[in-house]
Structure 1
Amino acid sequence: MFGASLSRWTMSYFAAALCALLGAEVLMAAGVGFPSQPLAAPLTLVLVHLVAIGWLSLLLSGALIQFVPVLVAKPLAHPELPVVALALLLAGLGSLLFGFLGMAGLSVGSMPWLPLGAIGLAGGFALNLWNLGRTLWSARPIGLAARFVAVGLVSLIGVVTLGTIFSLTLSGWTTNAAFLRLTSEGIPLHAALGLGGWLTFTAMGVSYRLLAMFMLAPEAEHRSSRIALLAGTVAILVILIGGPVCILIFDQGVIHPLLAAFALALVSLALYGQDIVRLYRTRKRPKIELNARVFAWALGSLGLAVLLLVAASARGPTDRQIGGVVFLFVFGWLTGLGLAKLYKIVAFLTWLECYGRLLGKRPTPRVQDLVDESRAMPWFWLYFTGVGVASLAVFLGAPMVFRGAAFAMLIATARICFELVLTRNLTAVPAAMLPDGYRAWPRLHLPIL
């Protein structure tokens, strides 16, 4: 990573993503969306897409812009495209949310919000897909972590395609019979490709490299890692190809491809968990830093969510059970992982911006000197406690308890964001070790120097 170029816009993606997360938690605490309202309600769709696109997809996109060049040791193919993609994604997300608000009966004007949202999001994701895809292609053959990312990007293509079809159909812009059937039957495919393929499988690949890098663990490929990649890839292809085939050709539901993909995904996740445990055990860094400890909590949330999904599937899941599992998966696993890695990545990138060019020329602080783990740890505890209570409240059908837990998550997230602001401002660094040209309160979402 040392000497690698820094993406100018990664911090902007992170800032936008964190704003979306805080907004989603405000809505949950206010009782907007599930479980206070039905799972398929338009306001629930507002909440779902604010989290899935605004928070998780922007977060992962920003991370990939910075770390795909690290994974393949090649510069980003088009470093000027991420800001254009970000503008399109934000505009598309805003239009999509307005469209859902219109479906809920709120006055949002007469603009065709859903189609405009689909166009903006498809354009923004397409630019990032092209940029990252070309970067990966230029580095063939690519390593294990990069192969996970490549498969995750293929899954994103499916997510965007289905989402565009849904938007055009729900807005009445098309009455194509095939599109109508996909909209009616394909929502589980859209969700599985998004949460399981694009977000989880890609995050798995990035975490292989980041955990090894931050814990000083060996990065050797193992047979279990290759099988995890193969099983997950086949699972995604079963959903991506088998799902639409069942709907459009065999005129059946998607339960069979989903069950087959879930079985393969269990194999992939189990082997991934084994690999992560190996990284922890073989690390050379004796003290486990906060980000690695919190990552372990997120991984535990993933395991619990999978077990609950297996149990619910065996009994025939209800909306409440599905909602509880998805909430734990999204906020315990994906969001927990995101916040944990942001805590380290923001410090790491800030250190590179301020001190990378000074390494060997003058005394510099360590990356860990930019953060105060003892001050941040209680807020991560509060966040995960809120997630656990909120998940249980969904299973038990207690919306008021859920709202209280969501408020606790909001407070914890806001405080973690403040920790990131302090890191960006080098507040923990002694004045004698501040870099030349440093200005107090630098731009938070752009490079400091």
Structure 2
Amino acid sequence: MPGATLSPWTMSYFATALVCLVAGLALMISGFGYPSAPIDDPASLAVVHLISIGWLGLLFAGSLLQFVPVIASRQLQSPRLALPALLLTMIGLLLLLGGFLGLADILPFWTWALPAGGILLMLALAGLCWMVLATLAAARPYSLPAEFVALGCVPLIGTAVVGMLFTLPLSGLTDEPHLVSLVLTAGPAHAYLGLFGWMTVTAIGVSYRLLTMFLLSPERTRGTSRTIGWLMAAALVAVGCGIVLDGAGSPADWTLPLALAMAGLAVLLYALDIRGIVRERKRKAVELNVVASLLAIAMLIICFALFTVSIVVGNAAEMVMPIAYLFTFGWLTGLGLGQLYKIVAFMTWLEFYGPVLGRAVVPRVQDLVNERRAAAWFSLYFAATAAATAGLFFDMPEMVRGAALAQLAAVCALAFEFIQARRLAMVPAAARLPSGITARRLILPSFNGRSR
């Protein structure tokens, strides 16, 4: 597979992201932040950013470092920026969380914490965008996944800039009217840029390559795929216009609904594309990571179906948070965990068995995992996510916390499965590595192997 080199810091990104996910779920279970407090409460904002930046942001960043070279069939440009980007993200996130906890009177409030965190996060995301876009720029003609990933970098930059602007009035450094207006009105647009504009657009683009590869389906560009890209680009323009108007002090109520309508149509077309990819597959036995990905895509479709129904019956405001929860934990997190299950095993296989191909018995990638056991944990996770969404819909916070506890148990169990794969704990005895092969580190790069 062209570009199938090892990104040395990807496992560190994944491990840090999983720690943030576990911490975020644990805080929810304890009653800290949403749903025990309003979503705009500083404690809730801390949990939201721990999940969105710490978990999803690092997950997507680590995945891009590994898969952009595959998409572009090129070596990653400026790979030395990967470690500084990871460190800046973590320091910036900690400062951001400290600022929110200061606003909640849980920690001492330092005026500089929120802006400093925003600046460091902007620098980290700028480094990520540079690595991604510089790699893709050399890959002509551009493939469909490459175009989606490049498009996703635009709202990523927008998310970072808007978030940085938010920190100025929130920290009390300024009471400039335009920035205050931006904070009061542009929060939903900020979330849209991050969760849909960057993460969903990127996930859709990468899924075209991964699902066709895993299912052995023909890789071709459909007319619907191009339409999806244009709809998403138009939706991002609408959101951008809304943010500009919000900052100018004349909020426009039509921009975000228009963007959501175009996004919903794009998701419908995406579902048709996925249906075509599955029907055209040559591999009849579908692996667990694909099943988990398809379940996540189903939850994405359900999100927009629920949103449409809520508009028709007139309770859209009450449905925003349940849909957002399903979108975050059902679609983005479900897809992330499903693909991690395959990515971790595949990267481990490359790292350990790539150097001994042709010189020793080599297991299949599937031999590094236990699909039957992991399938139970994925089932628990998706069932718990649906239960938590129902709990939010019926305003039952205790039910939500109970479901979040089940989600946490499933995530911890899957993390254990990832560790077992890294340790080669399930490899058959006949395929054990020769004694001369030095075991690599679990999370950190070993620095003594070539990129393969």
Deviation string for 1:121-168 (max 9, x for gaps)? 111111111111111112233110010011111010110010000011
Quote the residue 2:442 is aligned against: 443
Deviation string for 1:210-265 (max 9, x for gaps)? 1111222211111111111111111112112x11343245x433421112111211
Counterpart-to-counterpart distance in 1, 2:310 and 2:101: 31
Classify the secondary structure of the residue corresponding to 1:252: coil
Letter in 2 for 1:13: Y
Counterpart-to-counterpart distance in 2, 1:179 and 1:322: 25
Say what the alpha-carbon RMSD is for the aligned residues: 1.7
For 1:209-224, what aligned pairs fall within 5 Å after superposition? Answer: 209-224=209-224
For 1:175-186, what aligned pairs fall within 5 Å after superposition? Answer: 175-186=175-186
Q: 1:438 to 1:415 in 2, by over 3 A?
A: farther
Deviation string for 1:256-301 (max 9, x for gaps)? 1112111211221111111111111112222000011111111111
Classify the secondary structure of the residue corresponding to 2:105: coil
Q: Note the C-alpha offset of 1:445.
A: 4.0
Q: Note the C-alpha offset of 1:376.
A: 0.8
Classify the secondary structure of the residue corresponding to 2:254: helix
Classify the secondary structure of the residue corresponding to 1:38: coil
Counterpart-to-counterpart distance in 2, 1:208 and 1:3: 17
Quote the residue 1:402 is aligned against: 400
Quote the residue 1:262 is aligned against: 260
Q: Note if 1:365 corresponds to 2:363.
A: yes
- For structure 2, the residue ranges without an aligned partner over 5 or more in a row are none
Counterpart-to-counterpart distance in 1, 2:226 and 2:48: 32
Higher mean alpha-carbon deviation, 422-431 vs 11-20, is at 422-431
Counterpart-to-counterpart distance in 2, 1:261 and 1:281: 30
Q: Note the C-alpha offset of 1:360.
A: 3.7
Counterpart-to-counterpart distance in 2, 1:312 and 1:92: 37
Contact 2:3 2:74 in 1 (8 A): no
Deviation string for 1:327-360 (max 9, x for gaps)? 0110011100000000001011111111223334
Counterpart-to-counterpart distance in 1, 2:105 and 2:311: 34
Counterpart-to-counterpart distance in 2, 1:89 and 1:19: 14
Q: 1:172 to 1:110 in 2, by over 3 A?
A: closer
Classify the secondary structure of the residue corresponding to 1:161: helix
Counterpart-to-counterpart distance in 2, 1:301 and 1:447: 38
Quote the residue 1:304 is aligned against: 302
Contact 1:320 1:394 in 2 (8 A): no
Contact 2:155 2:197 in 1 (8 A): yes
Counterpart-to-counterpart distance in 2, 1:195 and 1:313: 21
Q: How many residues align?
A: 447
TM-score by length of 2: 0.95
Deviation string for 1:284-326 (max 9, x for gaps)? 2220000111111111111111111122234444654211110
Letter in 2 for 1:400: E
- For structure 1, the residue ranges without an aligned partner over 5 or more in a row are none
Counterpart-to-counterpart distance in 1, 2:110 and 2:174: 18
TM-score by length of 1: 0.96
Deviation string for 1:43-82 (max 9, x for gaps)? 1101110110000010000000111111011111101100
Letter in 1 for 2:375: M
Classify the secondary structure of the residue corresponding to 1:40: coil
Quote the residue 1:243 is aligned against: 242
Percent of pairs identical after alignment? 43
Q: 1:78 to 1:29 in 2, by over 3 A?
A: same
